[in-house]
Each structure stands twice: as C-alpha cells, then as structure tokens.
Amino acid sequence: MEMEKLVSLCKRRGFMFQSSEIYGGINGFWDYGPLGVELKRNIKDAWWRDMVTGHDDLAQLPGAPAAYEMTGLDCTIIMHPQVWKCSGHYDLFHDYMVDCRESKKRYRHDQIQGRWVEAKDKKIFATAGSDSESPEADIERQALKFFGMRSKNADELKWDGPLVSLTTVDDFEQVLGPDAKSLGTLTPPREFNLMFKTTIGALGGEADTAFLRPETAQGIFVNFKNVVDSSRVRVPFGIAQVGKSFRNEITPRNFTFRSREFEQMEIEFFCHPDSSQEWYRYWRERRFQWYKDMGLDEGKLILREHDPEELAHYSIGTADIEYAFPFLPEGEYGELEGIAHRGDFDLRSHMEGKLDPSTNPMTVELNEEGKPKHRGSGKDLSYRDDITGERFVPHVVEPSAGADRATLAFLCEAFTEDEAPDDKGNMQTRTVMKLHPRIAPIKAAIFPLVKKDGMPEMAQDIYRSLKKDWNVFYDEKGAVGRRYRRQDEAGTPFCITIDGESMQDQTVTIRHRDTLEQWRVKADDLSGELRKLIG
C-alpha cells in the first residue's frame, strides 16, 4: 500500500487533518475529522469494554494465574511537579540533540547514521538523518556530491566499516551533516527535555513551573491508595486509564505515528511479587491477541522482547507489540504497544523518593549532602492482604497502548483497492476501508432506491430506529452505486437498501462491504441482524 493514498483518503473523507492547516499547520499535531473521531472513539470504547467494563471479575480467564478485578481512573493532565521528579522523568526524560549550523535543522544524536568514506586523499564521516528510507544510498549520494564526483565513479569511494551511529564519532570536524555541504557543521550533543513546561498561577515564577504529563501511568500510581481504600479491590487487580499525553518530540514524522500530542490506553496491573512474571506473560499474550481479534493481520504483527540494554531504568522486562506499518522499510516494524514489568519501582519511588537505577536492589538516590535527591510523598503505598495478613509493595505490569497508533494501524490494515462492478456492470477499481465492524465509524448506511413511492419515508423510519443503538447514515442522493462507493471509502460495513419490493413485503436488502454479498431480511428483524453482524 502506498502511504500517500491513505493520507489523501484520510483528508478527503474526513478521518484526519493537519492541525491549524489554514495557517500552514503545526508539525506533530493532528486533528480528527468527523469519521476519524468516531473511529478513534470506537477503538477506545472497544479497549475499555474488553479490558474493564466487560471483564468478568469472578472467573479465571484462560492463561491468567488467577481471577482478578479491573477498575478505572481519569487523572489530570497537570500534576504536582514532584511526581515527575520521583518518577525519573525530570532527570531522565530527555534526548541528546545536535544542530546543523548550515541547514538550521535539529537531529537526535543517536538517530544520525553514517559511514566513514575516503576519496581524493580525504576521509570523512558521511551521514543520513532518521527520516531517510535508504540511508546507505543517501550517504553515497552525499559523499559523491561532497567530493565532486559523478555516480559512474562511485567505485572510487573507499568505504571503511559498516553503517554506524553518530554516537560512535568523537571528532565532529570530520562529520558531514545529513543536509550539509561542508564538514564540521554539527554542534556538540546537548540535552533537550521532552516534557512540555507550563505555568500554574498568575505570577509565573520558577516555583510555579509545572509539566504536561508525558504519560498517564503516574496518575494511577499516586492514586493507588485512594483506589484500594475506596473500592475494596484486592490484589491482583488492574487500574485502566485513557487520556492525553504530551512529549516534545524533536522530529515528529510518519503521519500520526510520532506526534507531540497523543492519547494513551494504559493499564497498571498490581500483583504479588511472587506471581508477577506469570502476570507479565499473561498480559503479553492477552494484548497481542486483542489486536488480532480487532482485525490486524497476524502476519504483520510481532511480539518482541526487549534486549537488556533496551530496558528502561525501572523495567524488569518489556515486550513490544509491533506492526509492519507501510511507511517502514520491508521487514521492519513499529511499536503499537509496550507491556512492561515495572517491578515495585513506581510505588516505592512515590513513597521513599526517586530510586537509583544503578543500585541493585534499588535504593533511594542521594544528593551531595547524602539526602534524597528527590523526596517522596512519605505516604505508605504498601498493600496488606486482609486474608493472609501479609504486607508488601505490589509489583506492576503495565500494558501501555497508543490510541493514535492503534488508529493508524487499523487504517493501514483496512485500506484496500479491489475491483467491483459499477451501475452498468462494468468492473471498476474500488477503494474500500475494511475496518472491523466494531470500530467502523458508521455501522450502516440506509438508502431509498429512489426518492418516491414511499421509499424515503420507510428508509427514514428505519434510520431513526437504528440510530438509537448505532451511528448510522441516511443518503438518498445520486445513483445507488455511487452511494455504495462513498460508504466503502468511509469503512461502513453494511448498506441497507429500500426498494420497490420493500414496499410490498416489508423486507430490505443488506449489502456486505467486503464480500459484496446481498441478502434480504424483514425490516422488523433488521436490528437483531445488525447486532449479530457487528458483534
């Protein structure tokens, strides 16, 4: 699939728009249009239904070590600044950046790739940026241009070693930046904080500085005791939350894949330390299966366990559910969801103070005076089992999904071009969004075949009846074939047509978007039929 076609369809049909587009847009921010907002809402609702409200607290689900409870929260975007100091974000949530004095562009230090190359008695480190789809080819073109050579003389370039990160290079005077013509234009790496700052109160001094949350998880941790005390849940249990997060991404790219404002669907699952590994394995499999159930091709999904050097400072183990997005090179995958075994890092940090990840077992990080570098709340966030009497700090397993990335993955998976007959029976190329009925923005479209003979009145009655349960659409304009095509592009799984026969026997025709199969049902049975089809 060509990504440009999907992006074009998303704008044309109202799935997504560039934020502030009439002013030239703002990079890393996207608005969801009339169809997009319904799609994303349906994805979040399906996740919440499957993980929280539809969860059976009484039964032991397949693969689960025990029965467990689920509940939810909705925490504020702005929290006490100390939250981010104890969580580690204040100290660790940054990237090292380099700026190019010539091109005026900024790059992540670790995402610039390059190779040492020699020609005309000079050796340089030629590079390509993170947005390069063919870094080796781009590096060769850049080297040829720098040395004033033509493509036919590419064999004269002497390459020294494979493609490596800029982080392996100490002398930037020999580095040719990704978009530069001269050597030595890149600045030394410097820290760039990924959290958005804001101000609380009218004075706006340093003491009033706060941050837009970079993740929803911390709101759950600081409310752990409130949930236990108010809802009588018992470990093991999970707390779910859907909400906005903000990260000051340096190079937002690939449509909505990497944005500065995004929405997360997160669960913090609290369990006994002795069973935490079992729960980690359970949530890995449970969440992987969910994407398959919602329509993603298993052949485009992988479950990848992180290597030790990849693990976050708090993580005992992490696995990513990844999808083969079409904007990535063949054989590469992009993260959809991370399932992290966070141990007791978060609850202990908010009790005692920020833990030092270099210690094992972890102890509170101290400042030059031997006091906690970032002081915790002092509140007891341990848990006491009312049956055994045991007191412990629960371990946490965190399935953290991106609602925007999930939306993008479902759009990529759904985009299809096939052939279908037009009104005259001639085969024509058809663009169709094969979205799972549960998440499709519009569940059904109702068409009167013609605007006379009582058909519009019957169609409108059906529309109003179905509208009570689902988002349905009424359309009486144009040939019925063109109406079908418009709904195919919108991802509507079922079209219902009222024709002359409907006026005689009160039956209607249902058309299936993917198979193009058509069948008749009684109008009175339509609601039940759709309920079975949508699932």
Q: How far apart are CA 433 and CA 411, in angstroms?
A: 7
Tell whether residue 215 is among the known ligand binding residues: yes
Q: Quick one: angle between helices 455-467 and 526-534, nearest 10?
A: 50
> Is the Cβ–Cβ distance between 374 and 81 less than 8 Å?
no
Instruction: Compute the chain's Rg from CA coordinates.
Output: 28
- Residue 79 has a CB neighbour count (10 Å cut-off) of 17
DSSP E strands in 413-517: the ranges are 415-421, 427-433, 444-448, 472-474, 494-498, 507-512
Tell whether residue 268 is among the known ligand binding residues: no
> Is the Cβ–Cβ distance between 123 and 116 less than 8 Å?
yes
For 326, the token pair is 């079409």
Tell whether residue 403 is among the known ligand binding residues: yes
Tell whether residue 108 is among the known ligand binding residues: yes
Furthest C-alpha separation in the chain? 89
Tell whether residue 402 is among the known ligand binding residues: yes
Which among 112, 143, 142 has a CA at the least distance from the CA of 129? 112
Tell whether residue 247 is among the known ligand binding residues: yes
> Is the Cβ–Cβ distance between 107 and 100 less than 8 Å?
yes
Tell whether residue 401 is among the known ligand binding residues: yes
Tell whether residue 265 is among the known ligand binding residues: yes
Tell whether residue 260 is among the known ligand binding residues: yes
Tell whether residue 400 is among the known ligand binding residues: yes
Residue 222: helix, strand or coil by DSSP?
helix
Which among 14, 12, 3 has a CA at the least distance from the CA of 37? 14
Tell whether residue 475 is among the known ligand binding residues: no
Tell whether residue 447 is among the known ligand binding residues: no
Tell whether residue 147 is among the known ligand binding residues: no
Q: How far apart are CA 435 and CA 412, in angstroms?
A: 10
Q: Render 385-413 in DSSP notation, one character per residue.
A: -TTT--EEPPEEEEEEEEHHHHHHHHHHH
Tell whether residue 264 is among the known ligand binding residues: yes
Tell whether residue 82 is among the known ligand binding residues: no
Tell whether residue 428 is among the known ligand binding residues: no
Residue numbers in the known binding site for ATP are: 247-249, 257-262, 335-336, 402-405
Binding residues for substrate: 108, 215, 262-266, 398-402
Binding residues: 108, 215, 247-249, 257-266, 335-336, 398-405
